[in-house]
Amino acid sequence: MSDLLMFVEIPKGSRNKYEYDPEVGAIVFDRYLYSSVVYPADYGFITDTLGEDGDPLDAVTLVSDPTFPGVRIPVRVIGLFKMIDQGEVDDKVICVPVSDPNWKGVETLDDISQQLKTEISHFFEIYKQPEGKVVEVQGFRSREEALETVAAAKQRLKDQG
């Protein structure tokens, strides 16, 4: 699959939860995270997709420095993080920026540190706990499974439209 475009909603290091609102045509502030953790990477979605939860397919992009809401990043998929949020499938595609030399040799999850994988997993395990929301982390999956998930999300959007 050729390079994809990720739409950034939340920059790395933020506790602000922003979401793109298609009705408003802009990014809106959703809430400040109840927990004292920050997003471990830029967070948003893969453009032109529809996830199983009815929203665009979530994406986590490992960046050297945080970007800002509204930026589009050409990304390369390296893996998938599977989870269930409030009983719904809420997978996150793990990506790296195509144009960042610090991530040039990263092709799969095996190419990133265990520490970074632990930070990502830990963040999604606990970030909604203070709100009383139930999240079930199912762990990381291969690049191949991630690419299949992206292809299915692109097809889902086509089928809907």
Distance (Å) of CA 70 to CA 26, 79, 114, 131? 8, 23, 29, 26
143 is in an annotated binding site: no
Distance (Å) of CA 159 to CA 27, 50, 131, 152? 26, 10, 34, 10
- Choice among 90, 100, 110, 111 that is catalytic: 90
Per the annotation, the verdict on 42 as an active-site residue is no
17 is in an annotated binding site: yes
Structure tokens at 11: 């920059």
48 is in an annotated binding site: no
18 is in an annotated binding site: no
58 is in an annotated binding site: yes
Helix (H, G, I), strand (E, B) or coil at 154: helix
Structure tokens at 107: 């092709």
127 is in an annotated binding site: yes
| Known binding-site positions for Mg(2+) | 9, 53, 58, 85, 90
| Known binding-site positions for substrate | 17, 31, 43, 127
Residues serving a catalytic function are 90
